């Protein structure tokens, strides 16, 4: 048997690792699979673990109040030293571009253990946007032995950096997770969610908003909020904004949007509630990477409130559009989709470039031959 350790620490990582975890566990005669969570984001991580029925074998519980990137990296590296000694995996899987991703790869490298990178090859070509994710993923690529890239463009990014071996284009497990999650929700029914969001009028067009990027702190977030305020004041829509806990996000949101009748400011949502709400929405405004990938599978146009994105495939495919953080651009592009049904349906019906939900199956089939 080959021993595989999945290392992750945030909600997005857990979501994208969940399909791989369950697929690997179909082959317990081939793979001994264990999970190590850093708990870089404690509460939001636990919600996903519960929903997807994942029980960590190692829980490092590293989240601290006001933790810095220095704290996360140093503490995780030390803690992983003990985990890797205890399990001695044949392969360490990391996902994406968080501090847990890079540090997990680095720790495995120090132990001379092989590393697989899930969601490899994403690039914005700006090392400070997103920060610190762009450098995390580039450094992880240098370390990794196996690269599971969502798209051909991601593979080309790796090759351009001199990484030529063991690159596999498989799609993104976020689509696997989305379909798996919606299937679980369907089995329990819609009633609880309609009751939970009773203040939202679903007979109107619902605009789902998410925003949390560090590079948008300050004036960019104020611009986003003012654009939302203008949209809400002029159109009979329901704007739903689950607000990130970071005070750099909360302060401008509360100051500018808290008293507007048709803007619903919510506490951060658990994953099943978020994807249910996304499925009921008309369109999405976001700076989230995962939502750029997920929403098109549900036929929801995405406006990306960032100046650059490492998910250029969605822009090229027409499922998403970059609108930056300029007030008038966000407003105008949103209104275009609200008023012009032809433009709306042209975006909504585009093919999602991030896969069809078979990513985890492909990866495990590859692993059977690699290890």
* DSSP notation for 243-280: PPS-HHHHHHHHHHHTT-TTEEEEPPPPHHHHHHHHHH
pLDDT one-digit tens code per residue, 21-33:
999 999 999 999 9
CA 360 to the chain's CA centroid: 16
Tokens of 129: 């946007």
Instruction: Look at the chain and count its residues.
Output: 371
Does 130 have pLDDT greater than 80? yes
Does 41 have pLDDT greater than 80? no
pLDDT one-digit tens code per residue, 111-124:
999 999 999 999 98
Tokens of 138: 């580039």
Q: Could you give the dihedral angle defined by the CA atoms of residues 67, 287, 16 and 156, in that order, rounded to the nearest 10 degrees?
A: -110
Q: Which residue's entry shows tokens 């611009």?
A: 223
Does 37 have pLDDT greater than 90? yes
- What is the number of other CB atoms lying within 10 angstroms of the CB of residue 95? 29
pLDDT one-digit tens code per residue, 233-262:
999 999 999 998 888 889 999 999 999 999
Q: What is the pTM of this model?
A: 0.87
| Predicted confidence band of residue 183 (pLDDT cuts 50, 70, 90) | very high
pLDDT value of position 247: 87
- What is the helix, strand, coil percentage profile of the chain, to 5? 50, 15, 35
pLDDT one-digit tens code per residue, 286-316:
998 889 999 999 999 999 999 888 888 999 9
- Tell me how far apart the alpha carbons of residues 263 and 265 are, in angstroms, rounded to a whole number: 6
E-state strands within 138-187: 146-149, 167-169
Of 35, 2, 364, whose CA–CA distance to 170 is shortest? 364
| Catalytic residue IDs | 97, 119, 133, 212, 214, 244
Q: Which domains does the chain have, with CATH numbers?
A: 2-172+356-370 (3.40.50.2000), 190-348 (3.40.50.2000)
pLDDT value of position 217: 87
Does 214 have pLDDT greater than 80? no
Tokens of 66: 């006001």
For the packed helices 133-143 and 99-110, what is the interaxial angle rounded to 10 degrees?
20
Burial pattern 9-29, b for ≥16 Cβ within 10 A else e, equals: bbbbbbbbbbbbbbbbeeeee
Is residue 149 a contact partner of residue 120, using CB atoms and an 8 Å limit? yes
């Amino acid at each position: 048997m080959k021993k595989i350790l999945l290392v992750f620490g945030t909600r997005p990582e857990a979501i994208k690792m969940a399909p791989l975890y369950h697929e690997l566990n179909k082959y317990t005669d081939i793979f001994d699979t264990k999970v190590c969570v850093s708990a870089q984001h404690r509460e939001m991580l636990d919600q996903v673990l519960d929903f997807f029925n994942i029980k960590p074998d190692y829980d490092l519980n590293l989240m601290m109040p006001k933790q810095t990137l220095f704290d996360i990296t140093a503490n995780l590296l030390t803690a992983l030293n003990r985990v890797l000694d205890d399990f001695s995996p044949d392969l360490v899987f990391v996902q994406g571009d968080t501090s847990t991703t890079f540090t997990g790869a680095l720790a495995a490298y120090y132990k001379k253990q092989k590393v697989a990178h899930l969601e490899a090859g994403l690039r914005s070509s700006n090392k400070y946007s997103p920060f610190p994710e762009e450098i995390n993923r580039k450094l992880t690529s240098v370390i990794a032995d196996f690269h599971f890239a969502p798209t051909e463009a991601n593979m080309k990014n790796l090759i351009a950096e001199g990484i030529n071996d063991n690159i596999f284009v498989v799609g993104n497990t976020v689509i696997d997770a989305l379909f798996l999650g919606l299937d679980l929700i369907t089995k329990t029914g819609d009633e609880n969610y309609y009751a939970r969001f009773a203040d939202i009028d679903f007979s109107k067009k619902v605009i789902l908003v998410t925003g949390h990027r560090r590079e948008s702190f300050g004036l960019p977030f104020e611009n986003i909020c003012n654009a939302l305020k203008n949209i809400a004041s002029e159109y009979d829509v329901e704007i739903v904004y689950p607000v990130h806990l970071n005070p750099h996000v909360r302060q401008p949101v509360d100051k500018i949007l808290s008293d507007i009748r048709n803007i619903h400011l919510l506490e951060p949502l658990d994953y099943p509630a978020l994807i249910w709400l996304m499925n009921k929405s008309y369109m999405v405004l976001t700076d989230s990477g995962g939502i750029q990938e997920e929403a098109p599978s549900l036929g929801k146009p995405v406006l990306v409130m960032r100046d650059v994105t490492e998910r250029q495939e969605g822009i090229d495919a027409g499922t998403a559009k970059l609108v930056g953080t300029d007030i008038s651009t966000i407003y105008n592009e949103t209104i275009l989709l609200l008023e012009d049904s032809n433009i709306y349906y042209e975006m909504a019906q585009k093919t999602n470039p991030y896969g069809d939900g078979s990513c985890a199956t492909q990866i495990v089939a590859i692993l059977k031959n690699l290890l």
